[in-house]
Amino acid sequence: MRFDTKEGPLLHEEIYASSSQPECIMHSPVIREHQENDVMIQKIKSACLTGRNNPDYQFVPLLGCTLVAYQKRVIVPDTLRDDMIGWYHQNLGHPASEKQFKTMQHTLYWPGMETTIAKYVKKCMTCKQAKVHGGKQNYGLIPPRTLRTVNPFDIVHVDLIEPYEGNFYGITMIDQATRWLEVGFQPDKDALTTAESFDREWLCRYPRPIQVIHDQGPEFTGDEFQELLRSYGIKAKPITTKNPQANAICERVHLEILNVIRCHEEADWKKVIHYAAFAVRASYHSILNASPGQLVFGQDMISRRLYEANWSYLSKRRFYAILADNDRENAKRLVHFYNPGDQVMIRVPKQFRAKTKRVADGPYQIRNVHDNGTVTVDNQQQVSIRRIFPC
């Protein structure tokens, strides 16, 4: 079999020789130069020239050069592989490893090519920061809670509802034990305004709570709101940053309220929200096996039929419901154990980022691992393992 290995000046070489740009990895003279410095490829080339070669090995033309190939795919020397993968990965817009392999294997070859590409893509920091991945991507199991009895009005959850229409914010306050709900309105989300709303709508009406759970928005972490809690001797318990699941009681009630508002589209939502609050207070709650009104007043809010609460039973029922939720969530997670020193990325939840922004920040190094399903990273931020994944 005759092969043309003439190496006279070619158009592609003349173009690149006159260019001041850095050499492109896919420039065929670059590939040829690396092939000439590879001992194994030179042995294959010699065998091809003498006719003693395996039929799978041959010469192929690529962009004006004749290169050594395997099954008509150019053999990439070891010294060029990482750069070649990086060039394709960058210029194809950071594709998944399988897509990149399928693209490259049409033209290029080396042993273990698919595995090498997969390892490279797995370590790509841009992919970790910018891409939404399919399949199970939640690492680490959420630890179960311990059984504890919560008395009525001991723990209160507070949160804001963003303006539905107009400029008014809704503030929701929920007793953890009974799920009793209060709602109010405020013109802004300043810490002073929020403190006044909480004082007026809750503290002036109900027994003084021991603890208040809130998110880390400035309306709650601000001096005025925190000073209000301190003045009453109430312990503030902020949830971890951008982890609304930690305040799931409020999130579920917000969903119920918005469902009622949407059922009355033509009405003023500031009026409808009070009907929605009544619906929450008077309706059966699956975890409580009763309505919040029955637990607070000892009677049904509509029929006035008497009701006697068994608080020990309710605590156990609530605990088992939490365990069931925990099991359901962990069924969707991968078993993984975080340790101090591990490098992790921190996800940015959808509601806190624009569609075109990165989905994760990092990498960060774990400083401490806590037994409540959170870790402290090197910027002193304590985050839930729901938001992190290993690098």
pLDDT in tens, 131-155: 776 556 788 998 887 777 789 999 9
Q: Quote the pLDDT of residue 290.
A: 92
* Best CA proximity match to 150, nearest among 309, 308, 282, 257: 309
Strand order in 57-62's β-sheet? 57-62, 65-70, 73-75, 108-109
Average confidence (pLDDT) over 228-250: 86
Terminal alpha carbon distance of the chain: 51
DSSP assignment string, 121-144: HHT-HHHHHH-PPPS---BSPPPP
Average confidence (pLDDT) over 222-247: 88
Q: Are strands 388-390 and 65-70 parallel, antiparallel or unpaired?
A: unpaired
- For the chain, give the longest Cα–Cα distance: 102
Own/partner long-range contacts of 102-105 (Cβ < 8 Å, ≥24 apart): 105/73
Tokens 């002073």 belong to which residue? Answer: 192
Task: Domain 155-330: give its CATH superfamily.
Answer: Ribonuclease H-like superfamily/Ribonuclease H (3.30.420.10)
Match domain 11-123 to its CATH number in 1.10.287, 2.60.40, 1.10.340, 1.20.1050. Answer: 1.10.340
Q: What angle do CA 179, 164, 161 make, to 5 degrees?
A: 35
Q: Quote the pLDDT of residue 14.
A: 44
Q: What is the pTM for the complete model shown? A: 0.65
pLDDT in tens, 150-188: 899 999 999 998 876 667 898 999 999 999 999 998 999
Average pLDDT, the chain: 85
Q: What angle do CA 378, 379, 380 make, to 5 degrees?
A: 90
The helix (H) or strand (E) run that includes residue 388 is strand 388-390
Q: Quote the pLDDT of residue 11.
A: 41
**Could you state, in order of their start, the residue ranges of all structural domains in the chain?**
11-123, 155-330, 343-390
- Whole-angstrom distance, CA of residue 16 vs CA of residue 24: 9
Residue 387 corresponds to which amino acid? R
pLDDT in tens, 16-47: 444 444 467 888 889 889 989 988 988 888 88
Number of neighbouring beta carbons within 10 Å of residue 214: 24
> Which pair of structure tokens corresponds to residue 315?
């605590």
* DSSP state letter for 48: H
